[in-house]
Chains A and B, each alone.
Chain A
Amino acid sequence: MKNKALIAGLSAVAIVASLAACSGDDGGGSNDAKPTNCTNKIVNADAPVVSVWAWYPNMATVVDNFNNSHDDVQVCWTVAGQGADEYAKLQTAVSAGKGAPDVVMLETDQLVGFEIQKALVDISDLGADDVKDNFAEGSWGDVSQGDAVYAVPIDGGPMAMIYRKDIFEQYNITPPTTWEEYEAAAQTVKDAGGPWFGNLGSNVPAALTALFQQNGAVPFDYDLADPQKISINLDTPEVKQVMDYWAGLTEKGLIGTEDQFTTDYIAGVVGGKYATYVSAAWAPGYLTGAGVGQGDDAGLFAVAPLPQWDVDNPVSVNWGGSALAVTTQANDKELAAEVAVGLYADEPSLTDGWKTQTIFPLNKDVLTSDEFVNNQVEFFGGQTANKDIYIPAADAYEGTNYSPFSVYYYAQLQAQLVKIAAGDVGGSQAATDLQDIIVKYATEQGFTVE
């Protein structure tokens, strides 16, 4: 009898002990212990460590550059996913109140959403203001709210039209300068039995939103100073015109509707399935990383300015581009801010980034450096793409006003794009539906919609 009780008791204890073992804290920045699950090597073991989440393709080099040149602080870097995957993890950590890194890479359209949850630290007094002059006003505006600065910009995504020289030559067309010409060229290629002229993937709603703005739309007007008020303008003529335009291209079979960056899509890009790719300056690097433009295909691509609605009043827009923010869960916010300001700000890292074309740097020193301006881009067959296309586009970019629920907005726009691709709904109708859905959501979330 006693034995039985003893056995039962012991096994109960054993179970509880093993449960306790499960719940061990595995890193994150909120505990006092140094994070140990770094992707990189810590050079100076005695220095305090700041944890960083980022997914830049050349991040390993960037982190090593930082750690090798700093005795006072070391970076412990992890890839917590690229884009949406990382945001989901960060969102969960923010909701849980623990588990977030000290410094996190965020695209600028995600900042407000985390700012409103008080998840990010205003680092204007922690060194960010000192580097303000390194950046253009539009870029700085994207990371700040009034005087408060919530992140340090690293790269931007001025948009342009990447195209296949071989296809353009074959069908005897020149790069279109307006969207009207773009459609006409697409029709020409199609009539001659050529490939699709472009692609509208449902998974790049941010790119389409940038194209709304190019037509003068202001989808959201939001100011953190008055956090409960928001203005939502998704059913305006400007948005509808862009939606109708792309829905029309889809309907006429001029462009594909595959999601971008999937294996199928990359295979299509390699195989010359799309004549153009309306995208940002960081795209060539990601395409190269996926195996595009190599071997026999080297130098097949070129880039031209983004087609315009009105050639006399060209508008430049931005897709993507990231910044480093300090989370409120960081133990030592000053130290974290030092990393946010200093990481990926040194010359060797930036040079490595722009040479591989995985970033379009926003640091003015780089933007004006001779080497950068006159660089003959290998992916574009030696074209001086920076000087001719991307720098003018970046200079003309005026900044964007993002909503605090970008993730939700993008998901809904994506759903509308799927409907458009399936022919279930027209462009204008999709814009109207989208407006209703987003207004309803904003109201549910406690915003006053104006």
Chain B
Amino acid sequence: MADTATRLVIPKRKQTARERRHSRTGWLFIAPFGVVFVVFLVTPLAYAFYLSLFSKGLATGTAFAGINNYVRAFTDASFLKGVWFVVRFSLVLIPVQMLVSLAAALVLDNLTNRFARFARLMIFLPYAVPAVIGALMWGFLYSPSFGPLEQIFGAFGADAPFLLSPDNIFYGLMNVVTWQWAGYYMIIIYAALRGIDPTIYEAAKIDGANSWQVALRIKIPMVRSALVLILVFALIGTLQFFTEPQVLGPVANGTITPDFTPNIYAFNLAFKYAQFNYASAISFSLGAIVFVGVYIFLFATRKRGSVL
């Protein structure tokens, strides 16, 4: 009995020791990532969450607030207005963006001449322009004094619309964002299209399918996972909308208010009004909304989408 026990125990001990060494090496290997992850993501998040549990007024000291900041956030007209704006923006922008990028990818996939390569590069180019530069450029294009719109409309004797006015800003921004991102999404879809086995097309043609049918019945269903992926990217990006409105703000005649989008609101709360605690709560609330939105979406598409 004692022998058996020893025999049983000793190999086990050996294994534990080796395992431990294994796992220690494993930890070392993920350490480079782990350090960056902890220092730049986990710690700031934890600290921001900690901050969001306190409140500090200009006239008062810091006090523990519990979830009060979150209650305030979800009853704050500024925050809710911003959320409503980005949700509306997503609902219109994402379909437009996907349609444009999908159409471009399908066309480019069908062409094989030199023009296709040039066009691919040109469509992708806006993504290579930094968002800030792109927004500045559009700011000039929209300008009533310097932009081309004034001349174009003037030729027909009409007044050009100011695309950054409160009534038009929605479309003005949509144009900038679509211009910026459609090329990137096009590349993702295009790459997925290139990954499809061409023999499938041959089989379809033998079966009598025309180009339209190949595109609609074969290509699109087969890049569905790429479409889901860009949808998630676009959803997260749009809900966190910040750069373009922030850059266009100074030339928008005040249309871009300090609470225009939730992210801009959090930024202004923290860095202009010194309300770091409430800004943290706003950021976490936005994070929660993004998480819920993306989760609902992934849940709804879970059967067909193989990505994520």
For the complex, give the distance between the alpha carbons of A117 and B145 in Å: 43
Residues 264 to 278 of chain B near chain A (Cβ within 8 Å):
268, 270-274, 276
> Contact between A95 and B276 (Cβ–Cβ < 8 Å)?
yes
Stretch at the interface among A60-68, A70-78, A234-242, A263-271: A263-271
Q: Which residue of chain B has the shortest Cβ distance to A1 in the bound complex?
A: B25
B249 → chain A closest CB, angstroms: 10
B166 in complex: contacting residue of A405, A418, A445, CB < 8 Å:
A418
Pair A415/B254 contact, Cβ less than 8 Å: yes
User: Which listed residue (B254, B272, B274) contacts A117, Cβ 8 A?
Assistant: B274
Q: Contacts of A267 on B, CB cut-off 8 Å? A: 145-146
CB 8 Å contact bits of A45-57 with B (1 = contact, 0 = none) = 0000000000000
- Which residues of B sit under 8 angstroms from A91, Cβ to Cβ? 271-272, 274
B60 on interface, CB distance cutoff 8 Å: yes
Contact A227 B59 (CB under 8 A): yes
B75 to chain A, nearest CB (A): 12
Contacts of B57-105 to chain A: CB distance below 8 A: 57-60
Given A263-B146, A446-B58, is A203 in contact with B36 using a C-beta cutoff of 8 Å?
A: no
User: In whole angstroms, what is the CA distance A268 to B274 when docked?
Assistant: 36
Structural contact, B167 and A445, CB atoms closer than 8 A: no
> What mask results when residues 70 to 94 of chain A are scored 1 for a CB within 8 Å of chain B, else 0?
0000000000000010011001101
| B36–A15 touching, CB < 8 Å | yes
Question: Contact: A94 with B274, CB < 8 Å?
Answer: yes
At the interface, yes or no: B24 with Cβ under 8 Å from chain A? yes
Cα distance, A202 to B57, chains bound together (Å): 27
Contact of A264 among B32, B144, B254 (CB under 8 A): B144
Tally of A interface residues using CB under 8 Å: 50
CB distance from A198 to the nearest CB of B (A): 16
Indicate if A39 sits at the interface (CB-CB under 8 A): no
Residue in B25, B57, B146, B255 whose CB lies within 8 Å of A444? B57
Q: Which of A116, A201, A203, A408 has the most CB of B within 10 A?
A: A408
Asked if B253 CB lies within 8 Å of chain A CBs, one says yes
User: A424: which B residues are within 8 A, CB to CB?
Assistant: 166
Provide the residues of chain A in CB contact with B271, threshold 8 Å. 88, 91-92
B24 to chain A, nearest CB (A): 7
Q: Which of A1, A9, A11, A418 has the most CB of B within 10 A?
A: A418
Cβ of B251 within 8 Å of any chain A Cβ, yes or no, is yes
Q: Which residues of A are found within 8 Å of B146, using beta-carbon distances?
A: 263-264, 267
Q: Are A12 and B254 in contact (CB under 8 A)?
A: no
Docked complex Cα distance between A145 and B258 (Å)? 30
CB <8 Å contact, B24 and A5: yes
Q: Of A202, A257, A264, A418, which contacts B145 at CB under 8 A?
A: A264
With the chains together, A11 CA to B28 CA distance in Å?
A: 9
**Does B29 belong to the interface (CB within 8 Å)?**
yes
Cβ contacts under 8 Å, A88 to chain B: 271-272
Interface size class of B (residues with CB under 8 A): 35 or more
A15 to B30, CA, bound (A): 11
Q: Of B32, B167, B258, which is within 8 A of A15 by CB?
A: B32
Q: Given the interface contacts A4-B25, A447-B59, does A203 sit within 8 Å of B32 by beta carbon?
A: no
Contacts of B31 in A (CB 8 A): 8-9, 11-12, 15
Query: Does any Cβ of A come within 8 Å of B165's Cβ?
Result: yes
Q: Is the CB of B143 within 8 A of A259?
A: no
- Interface residues as binary, B23-41 with A (CB distance below 8 Å gives 1, 0 otherwise): 0110011011001100100
Give Cα A289–Cα B252 distance, bound, in whole angstroms: 23
Chain B 226-259 residues near chain A, CB threshold 8 A: 250-255, 257-258
Partner of A408, one of B29, B39, B57, B273: B273
B211 to chain A, nearest CB (A): 48
Smallest distance from the beta carbon of A393 to chain B beta carbons, Å?
Answer: 28
Contact in complex: A202, B254 (CB < 8 Å): yes
The reply to whether A9 and B35 form a contact with Cβ atoms under 8 Å apart is no
Is B25 a contact partner of A415 (Cβ separation < 8 A)? no
A298 located at the interface, meaning its Cβ lies under 8 Å from any Cβ of chain B in the complex: no
Question: With A5-B28, A8-B31, A92-B271 given, is the CB distance from A263 to B145 under 8 Å?
Answer: yes
Mark each residue of chain A from 252 to 288: 1 if its CB lies under 8 Å from any CB of chain B, else 0. Answer: 0000011100111001100000000000000000000
Are B39 and A264 in contact, CB atoms less than 8 angstroms apart?
A: no
The yes or no answer to A228 lying at the interface (CB within 8 A) is yes
A-B contact pairs, 27 of them (CB 8 A): A1-B25, A4-B29, A5-B25, A8-B28, A8-B31, A9-B28, A9-B31, A11-B31, A12-B32, A12-B35, A19-B36, A88-B271, A91-B274, A116-B59, A228-B60, A259-B250, A263-B145, A263-B146, A264-B146, A405-B273, A407-B272, A411-B257, A411-B272, A418-B254, A422-B165, A422-B166, A422-B167
Q: Which residues of A contact B (CB under 8 A)?
A: 1, 4-5, 8-9, 11-12, 14-16, 19, 84, 87-88, 91-92, 94-95, 113, 116-117, 201-203, 227-228, 257-259, 262-264, 267-268, 404-405, 407-408, 411, 414-415, 417-418, 421-422, 424, 444-447
16 additional A-B pairs beyond A15-B36, A16-B35, beta carbons within 8 Å, are A5-B28, A8-B29, A95-B274, A116-B59, A202-B253, A257-B253, A259-B252, A262-B250, A264-B251, A415-B257, A418-B166, A418-B254, A418-B255, A445-B60, A446-B57, A446-B59
